[in-house]
Structure 1
Amino acid sequence: MQKSYVQIDSKDNIIVAITNLEKGTVVTIAGKDVTLKEHIKQKHKFALVDFKSGDEVFMYGVLIGKAMTNIAAGCAITIENVKHASAEFNETKTEFNWQAPDVSKFENRTFNGYHRDNGQVGTANYWLVIPLTFCENRNLDVIEAALSEKLGYQTLKDFSVDTDALIQQYKLGSSRDKILNTPILTTHEEMTKNRVFPNVDGIKFLKHDGGCGGIRQDSETLCKLLAGYIANPNVAGATILSLGCQNAQITMLQNALKAINSDKPVHYLEQQQSLSERHFIEEAVKVTFLGLIDANEIFRKPAPLSKLVLGLECGGSDGFSGISANPALGYASDLLVALGASPVLSEFPELNGVEQEIINRCITDEDSKKFYALMRAYSAAAVAVGSGFENNPSPGNIKDGLITDAMKSAGAAKKGGTSPIVEVLDYTEQVTKPGLNLLCTPGNDVESTTGLVGSGCNVVVFTTGLGTPTGNPVAPVLKMSSNTALYERMNDIIDINAGTVISGEDSIETMGEKILEHIIQVASGTLASKAVAHGNNDFIPWKRGVSL
């Protein structure tokens, strides 16, 4: 049965409205009756106690803000009466104990993946075409036009637009009304059976705006990220296009690949050494075609669930994200940790306020100190340009009940479950250890997802309360809604509905198990994520400037 309000933690002095609550409604929390003094919108919060200006506000059991004015019990918590505040933290960790969940339902389960020579297993099998500088983006477009459709890799949605029908009506001299009433949408299924290379899921073209200009460190970071994409278990090999004079030199990428021990086939082409642009493109098409022939020799085979490297992502969050979707994904993360897999939690600006909890969960002192240093440096960089973590919530977040960064962060951190943290990684560092990993990325959805896959994630689950079409060129991205209304409204781009937790149909645990079952299907290639089916290939490298 759906509740109309909830106190998430016994320490909380603000309460979440699960449904719209009318003024005058009497709510009872831990034996205390509170009469609402105003209408409280669904997903928003109201005061459980009388606040004086300066009093601390708690939610999820942590400090999330301070009262800016006196707030009477039963009044709404808003950006006008509460400001961001977060708890202090230090690099010294305290004792931490973890009780692993029961994984008997998933023991001995497998997924069908692509086995690589280094022991990794991909959930997909792609060939990459990558420019080392934005100057080569046009050539990528030409190569994509030459290969994708002919080989059966055109991106198909669940509909197509027949513009030719409009052109025909125009040439016939039809009236505007006739043109407006001409049907142009046709539905169809993705015709994978027409692929020349059935064991290759696609050719992905990683266009970007980097590789030259900016600072040299940007190009170095870009090459490390691109090396991570080539090394990702979902990738069979790559074709690299270099202009020749850019900052991101071929040797820089080769050194980055060597540093992570990647020996996948990579073809390097330099335009300034070519006879002409035509010869350059011709050679790129030919070596890519030969790479696809080799990649097609790899077949899906059973692999243990321990080979899953799961990216934990959120974006377009709402007031329910930290109650339904994020903790359910956190439980799925805990299940995978208990099974020997490697979930990865990122988005460091959205760990603001829960730093001490994260530090306490680090297994080693080295990692707790590394996380401490990364968070302090990130925060200082934001302040240095006149911003700060408190500016992280978006207008959409605020409208749907997330009014401070600490409130948003406390809910976002739930994606990481409750397990120990085995390693803290800086941006582009590779996941190598089983267990929960922490990866420094921005909170920006696409930059963070791009970073997760660049560090080795072979599947990503992306929670959202407002809706997002975000995908990735290499790893399937599963979108999960925090509420049923969103799932029903944007079912064309949302894969999983965690709104059943809000309605009471599912517990956090049963929803977490459903998430893992869905992951297994997608990892096996028996079910396509909607982002993959729609061709959402979002790829934005982080230049390590301030991005919240």
Structure 2
Amino acid sequence: MSKNYVQIDPKDNIIVAITPLEKGTTTTIQGTDIILKENIKQKHKFALNDFAVGDEIFMYGVLIGKAIEPIQAGCAITIDNVKHASAEFQDSKEKFTWSAPDVSKFEGRTFNGYHRKDGKVGTGNYWLVIPLTFCENRNVDVLEGALSEKLGYETKKDFAVDTDALIKQYKAGASKDAILNTPIITTKEEMTKNRTFPNVDGIKFLKHDGGCGGIRQDSETLCKLLAGYISNPNVAGATIFSLGCQNAQIEMLQNALDAIDPNLDKPVHYLEQQRSESERQLIEEAVKHTFLGLIEANKITRQPAPLNKLVLGLECGGSDGFSGISANPALGYASDLLVALGGSPVLSEFPELNGVEQEIINRCETEEDSKKFYDLMRAYSAAAVAVGSGFENNPSPGNIKDGLITDAMKSAGAAKKGGTSPVTQVLDYTEQVTKPGLNLLCTPGNDVESTTGLVGSGCNIVVFTTGLGTPTGNPITPVLKMSSNTYLYERMNDIIDINAGTVISGEDTIESMGEKILDHIIKVASGEVASKAVLHGNNDFIPWKRGVSL
């Protein structure tokens, strides 16, 4: 994109400013000269032609808004002169054809992963500690304090303090100088090298505020989500804490696990506090059984696996005006490559598919899935309206400041993450990915809730595009952050893994960037490169509550 402005689709009647454009600048689009009548900020848009009140406005080739006051050609498109509008859609699908991309560069490639007995392959090897209700969060904290640092796993800081060494010196009668000269700081890198179980990537503690007090359906959904985490190929086994009287009963979790895989062959140890002799006895049992589970998990090593074992979560957050023309379509091309290789990309965030529903419906392989998607979108939209909101309120202040002024505009760019391939399966929240090809998963637009849902449905790696920057990660699945612009990549390099800003500068095409993304995914999936979120210990986990609190 060497020009300083671009028309994304021939149908578009608004133009994106790649660089800040000054009033009086002459632009040429489709052979027509337009003189800008005001300054246009970078990433924002200006009118290609005059608009009267009520005129439809198109971007990415789809309806994204309507004029609410007259707009002259060359004037800025803002929240003051445009309101949200999106195209109508129906549950019947139109004919759709797809040409798969050339995957010759990736044929025969493998990644080194952890093979599970059910045929899935993990990109990590973790042990989970899960409370079935928030009442057990304290016991989870106690277990974390007893195990994490001692076994060489991450702390909340970049180093650990070995106070035990000072205690030993004191008890041995050491002098003041000897105590002062005793090394007590261990870096994260040193802790990793000295792990008791080198083949176990970590123990993760999934604390939450659910499991009781809400509607029964929320507890059932929570158990399905937790079952998805236990069955995720990145997990070796789990320790479960139950109080005993909560809505989310042990049996409910066991039934959810049976529904996913009745032959699940992973160690899961259940502890119920109200049946225990004491809290001390409960913790003692939890520590010992978790330790034994880690011994077994440590016997698993990375082995080569075909790329069709990758289940790739497609996520975005903190989007800007470049997200839909660099990072998202580049990730979409990587998604298409993975589909052609037999893998399973998963597109989520249903509020951010508002305005492109018909395109998605047309891409569904079956009438059943097109109808399911139609029903989920209608129900979700109605639920938002019922509480006094709506999809049109989706753009955040940060989105708007950086040029995404309507939900349909934001959605049309966000949907680019899903590439162009057919939709092989439509899933409601917590349903599991079982088919290769592009899957759709109903999640909210909230970044962490959506990422949490993607992993709960089986994603073993996630790529998260952003234009503004976000530290979001996940306890068990590596989340790769990709910037839409080079400025963000350079400014927040400590949390960003990949830079798609080279598409804006013209150094990369969408296709070449997509290939770079897939290559980086393979390296992270193999354990050769750690994602920034993993390095920083970003273990974000927020289950989606769809009901009220009782």
Q: TM-score range by the shorter chain?
A: over 0.9
Structure 2 residue corresponding to 1:368, chosen from 355, 367, 370: 370
Structure 2 residue corresponding to 1:438, chosen from 431, 437, 440: 440
Distance in 1 between the 2:22 and 2:459 partners?
Answer: 45
- Cα deviation, 1:225-271, whole Å, max 9, x if unaligned, reads 00000000000000000000000000000000000113321000000
Q: Secondary structure at the match of 1:219?
A: helix
Q: How is 1:301-450 mapped onto 2 (pairs within 5 angstroms)? A: 301-450=303-452
1:193 CA displacement: 1.3
Q: In structure 2, what residue type is equivalent to 1:386?
A: G
Kindly indicate whether the alpha-carbon contact (under 8 Å) linking 1:362 and 1:422 is maintained by their aligned counterparts in 2. yes
Kindly indicate whether the alpha-carbon contact (under 8 Å) linking 2:328 and 2:414 is maintained by their aligned counterparts in 1. yes
Q: How is 1:181-200 mapped onto 2 (pairs within 5 angstroms)? A: 189=189, 191-200=191-200
Structure 2 residue 37 is matched with structure 1 residue 37: yes
1:186 CA displacement: 11
Distance in 2 between the 1:49 and 1:545 partners?
Answer: 46
* Superposition misfits of 4+ residues, deviation over 6 angstroms: 161-164, 185-188
Q: Counterpart of 1:477?
A: 479
Kindly indicate whether the alpha-carbon contact (under 8 Å) linking 1:155 and 1:534 is maintained by their aligned counterparts in 2. no
Distance in 2 between the 1:3 and 1:124 partners?
Answer: 42
Q: CA 1:314–1:248 in 2, change beyond 3 Å: closer, same or farther? A: same
Distance in 2 between the 1:188 and 1:194 partners?
Answer: 10
Q: CA 1:92–1:51 in 2, change beyond 3 Å: closer, same or farther? A: same
Q: Counterpart of 1:213?
A: 213
Structure 2 residue 444 is matched with structure 1 residue 451: no
Q: Counterpart of 2:100?
A: 100
Q: Secondary structure at the match of 1:528?
A: coil
Q: In structure 2, what residue type is equivalent to 1:391?
A: N
Q: In structure 2, what residue type is equivalent to 1:96?
A: F
Q: Secondary structure at the match of 2:80?
A: coil
Q: Secondary structure at the match of 1:380?
A: helix
Q: CA 1:538–1:406 in 2, change beyond 3 Å: closer, same or farther? A: same
- Cα deviation, 1:129-182, whole Å, max 9, x if unaligned, reads 00000000011111001000000002476x559999xxxxxxxxxxxxxxxxxx
Distance in 2 between the 1:190 and 1:461 partners?
Answer: 28
Structure 2 residue 155 is matched with structure 1 residue 152: no
Distance in 2 between the 1:495 and 1:535 partners?
Answer: 15
Structure 2 residue 228 is matched with structure 1 residue 228: yes
Q: In structure 2, what residue type is equivalent to 1:121?
A: V
Structure 2 residue 84 is matched with structure 1 residue 61: no
Kindly indicate whether the alpha-carbon contact (under 8 Å) linking 1:156 and 1:533 is maintained by their aligned counterparts in 2. no
Q: In structure 2, what residue type is equivalent to 1:269?
A: L
Q: Secondary structure at the match of 2:475?
A: coil
Distance in 2 between the 1:393 and 1:72 partners?
Answer: 25
Q: Secondary structure at the match of 1:114?
A: strand
Q: Secondary structure at the match of 1:2?
A: coil
Q: CA 1:237–1:161 in 2, change beyond 3 Å: closer, same or farther? A: closer
TM-score by length of 1: 0.94
Kindly indicate whether the alpha-carbon contact (under 8 Å) linking 2:162 and 2:186 is maintained by their aligned counterparts in 1. no
Q: Secondary structure at the match of 2:95?
A: coil
- Cα deviation, 1:67-114, whole Å, max 9, x if unaligned, reads 000000000000000000000000000000000000000000000000
1:329 CA displacement: 0.2
Q: How big is the alpha-carbon RMSD for the aligned residues of Structure 1 and Structure 2?
A: 1.5
- Cα deviation, 1:341-362, whole Å, max 9, x if unaligned, reads 0000000000000000000000
- Cα deviation, 1:511-545, whole Å, max 9, x if unaligned, reads 00000010000000010000001000000000124
Kindly indicate whether the alpha-carbon contact (under 8 Å) linking 2:37 and 2:75 is maintained by their aligned counterparts in 1. yes
Kindly indicate whether the alpha-carbon contact (under 8 Å) linking 1:155 and 1:533 is maintained by their aligned counterparts in 2. no
Distance in 1 between the 2:341 and 2:348 partners?
Answer: 21
1:187 CA displacement: 7.7
Q: Counterpart of 2:87?
A: 87
Q: In structure 2, what residue type is equivalent to 1:527?
A: V
Kindly indicate whether the alpha-carbon contact (under 8 Å) linking 2:160 and 2:188 is maintained by their aligned counterparts in 1. no
Q: Counterpart of 1:181?
A: none
Q: Secondary structure at the match of 1:279?
A: helix
Q: Counterpart of 2:173?
A: none
Flag structure 1 segments of 5+ consecutive residues without an equivalent.
165-184
Distance in 1 between the 2:428 and 2:503 partners?
Answer: 34
Distance in 2 between the 1:480 and 1:375 partners?
Answer: 27
Distance in 2 between the 1:239 and 1:187 partners?
Answer: 28
Q: CA 1:275–1:162 in 2, change beyond 3 Å: closer, same or farther? A: closer
1:189 CA displacement: 3.5
Distance in 2 between the 1:188 and 1:367 partners?
Answer: 47
Q: In structure 2, what residue type is equivalent to 1:367?
A: D
Distance in 1 between the 2:284 and 2:40 partners?
Answer: 63
Q: Secondary structure at the match of 2:27?
A: strand
Q: In structure 1, what residue type is equivalent to 2:253?
A: L
Q: In structure 2, what residue type is equivalent to 1:229?
A: Y
Q: Secondary structure at the match of 1:146?
A: helix
TM-score by length of 2: 0.94
Q: Counterpart of 2:468?
A: 466
Q: How is 1:482-493 mapped onto 2 (pairs within 5 angstroms)? A: 482-493=484-495
Kindly indicate whether the alpha-carbon contact (under 8 Å) linking 1:156 and 1:190 is maintained by their aligned counterparts in 2. no
Q: Secondary structure at the match of 2:344?
A: coil
1:282 CA displacement: 0.8
Kindly indicate whether the alpha-carbon contact (under 8 Å) linking 1:6 and 1:17 is maintained by their aligned counterparts in 2. yes
- Cα deviation, 1:444-485, whole Å, max 9, x if unaligned, reads 000000000000000000000000000000100000000000
Q: Counterpart of 2:181?
A: none
Kindly indicate whether the alpha-carbon contact (under 8 Å) linking 2:326 and 2:484 is maintained by their aligned counterparts in 1. yes
1:26 CA displacement: 0.3
Q: Secondary structure at the match of 1:225?
A: helix
Q: In structure 2, what residue type is equivalent to 1:528?
A: A
Q: CA 1:319–1:545 in 2, change beyond 3 Å: closer, same or farther? A: farther
Q: In structure 2, what residue type is equivalent to 1:242?
A: S
Distance in 2 between the 1:276 and 1:155 partners?
Answer: 28
Flag structure 2 segments of 5+ consecutive residues without an equivalent.
164-184
Kindly indicate whether the alpha-carbon contact (under 8 Å) linking 1:63 and 1:85 is maintained by their aligned counterparts in 2. yes
Q: Secondary structure at the match of 1:76?
A: coil
Distance in 2 between the 1:74 and 1:524 partners?
Answer: 50
Distance in 2 between the 1:133 and 1:162 partners?
Answer: 32
